[in-house]
Amino acid sequence: MYIAFLIFNSVTLAAQKDPLFYRLLKRYVTWQFHLFYRTEVSGLENIPENAPLIFIANHQNALMDALAILCTCKKNPWFLARSDVFKSSLIARILYFFKMLPVFRFRDGYDQLRKNEAIFEKSCHVLINGEALVIMPEGNHDPRKRLRAFKKGLAKIAFSIYETGYQGPAYIVPVGLEYASHHSIFSRLLIQYGKPVPIQNYVEKYHLDPAKAQRILTNEVRESLMTLVIHIEDEEVYEDYIRWIYWNEIMFSSKETPDNQKIRFSLSKELIEEINLFRIQQPELYEKRINEQKEAEAFMIQMGCFGNPMIFNGYDGKACFLAIVLLILFFPFFLYGWLTWVLPYSFGHIIAKQVKDKQFNSSVAFVAHLTFYALQTCMLTVILITCLKSIFPGILFVLTLYPAKKILKAYRHLFEKTKKCVKAWIIVNFRSKTYKKLQEQRNFFSKKFNY
């Protein structure tokens, strides 16, 4: 029944302006999303204007992947999501309000799979009406840094635009998402919008041989997205490659290294190519290096200094002292931000722990945080207005929430850097044997490859 509801509304509502509540909610979610992650966005100039758009992205982190696009572009796109979350007609209506449509998979049964035709038709209406659509072409999420094969639905929806008589341009825009950590709050997230792939360039081939044209378009789009993600092809060596990337960043990032996620991304891409060549040319030496890495990692964990680049690349004592002073001075502001934030975050974290699929942890935690934070803000505002019998304290409280959370985010980042600096200072000055061994390991890893 709810599928019929969605299809009926696809024609009547797709071209209408988004409701005020939706637009306000998007602003709220966007604000919270950029506080949840340390986002860096590039390539927004690649998004075409006034044309049907299909955004595609690598799918590692459940709902957060879709929000990464929603919260960083001006469009208010529709989303294709797996059908099992639409089982209740009430939930289906709510999800439709948030511009989400169900997609059925083989596991849902053949009878259900046939309903995809109606959903693809709905998607086509959305695009023709000048709106955007977000598709995760891998089909399901996987936390590994690896771009998997694409499903057929992407090309089918793309070409369906031109089966309606539409003759204008339409594009597929690849979006690469690179998480430093899927679950850690305030962790880095790089969002890269790539060059658009014009669908109209393949229409003539589609009329001659639809199946072949769909394969060509799918391969072209996948190759375009491949340049925007970290891709480790061989699953057998996946953990070894991840360790090597992490070691490389820890060992060779210094205070002179720019804090630019895109540069770090490019260096990791280059490193993977080097490791691939090294593993092929000298497999025995490669295995030796991997084993030595594991031993070194175990030693660093034992010493409590794994993940601290300042031990290897030096630290700025004056900057560290200044950071400690700033932490002391800004502690009251941090405390205020923490008190307004800790309960919603804690509730979200507790609820997320109950989820069986761990890749939904950050999504559930984020949604729960959004809900509890809004409820807490409303409740505290009402209490302030009621107790002080004036609306101004309530307004002042609401206005301070954004800067308070920004300070909280910056304070935590500074605290983590200062903690590493102090740890490095202790090891360098008071644990000379440990420091000497760590420097030997760094010198060893500076000779990564022997070709």
What gap in Å lies between CA 360 and CA 64, rounded to an integer? 9
The CB density around residue 18, as the number of other CB atoms within 10 Å, is: 14
Concatenate the DSSP letters of all residues of 122-170 into one string: HHHHHHHTT-EEEE-TTSS---SS---PPPTHHHHHHHHGGGGT--S--
Report pLDDT digits (tens) over 182-214.
888 888 999 999 999 999 999 999 999 999 999
Read off the pLDDT band of 450 (50, 70, 90).
very low
Point out the least confidently predicted range of 9-23, 48-62, 167-181, 220-234: 9-23
Q: Considering the chain, what percentage of its residues have pLDDT values greater than 70?
A: 86
What are the residue ranges spanned by the domains of the chain? 2-226, 235-309, 317-437
What gap in Å lies between CA 48 and CA 384, rounded to an integer? 47
Q: Where are the beta strands (DSSP E) in 44-147?
A: 53-57, 78-82, 100-103, 132-135
72, 41 contact by CB (below 8 A)? yes
Average of pLDDT values for 272-299?
85
pLDDT above 70 (res 118): yes
pLDDT above 60 (res 448): no
Task: Name which of 240, 246, 226, 249 is nearest 275 in CA terms.
Answer: 240
Average of pLDDT values for 388-413?
90
pLDDT of residue 252: 55
Average of pLDDT values for 32-36?
91
What gap in Å lies between CA 162 and CA 200, rounded to an integer? 8
DSSP state at residue 46: G
Report pLDDT digits (tens) over 329-376.
999 999 998 988 888 888 888 888 888 777 788 988 998 899 999 999
Q: Where are the beta strands (DSSP E) in 212-264?
A: none
pLDDT of residue 221: 97
Average of pLDDT values for 433-450?
63
| CA max distance for the chain | 76
Mean pLDDT taken over the chain: 85
Report pLDDT digits (tens) over 250-264.
665 555 455 678 888
pLDDT above 80 (res 94): no
Concatenate the DSSP letters of all residues of 372-421 into one string: HHHHHHHHHHHHHHHHHT-HHHHHHHHHHHHHHHHHHHHHHHHHHHHHHH
Task: Name which of 128, 126, 149, 131 is nearest 139 in CA terms.
Answer: 149
Read off the pLDDT band of 1 (50, 70, 90).
very low
Read off the pLDDT band of 108 (50, 70, 90).
low
CATH code reported for the domain at 2-226: 3.40.1130.10
Read off the pLDDT band of 50 (50, 70, 90).
confident
Q: Which residue has better confidence, 278 or 218? A: 218
59, 209 contact by CB (below 8 A)? no
pLDDT above 60 (res 14): no
Average of pLDDT values for 103-115?
70
Phi/psi of residue 185, nearest 5 degrees: -70, 145
- pTM of the full predicted structure? 0.88
144, 32 contact by CB (below 8 A)? no
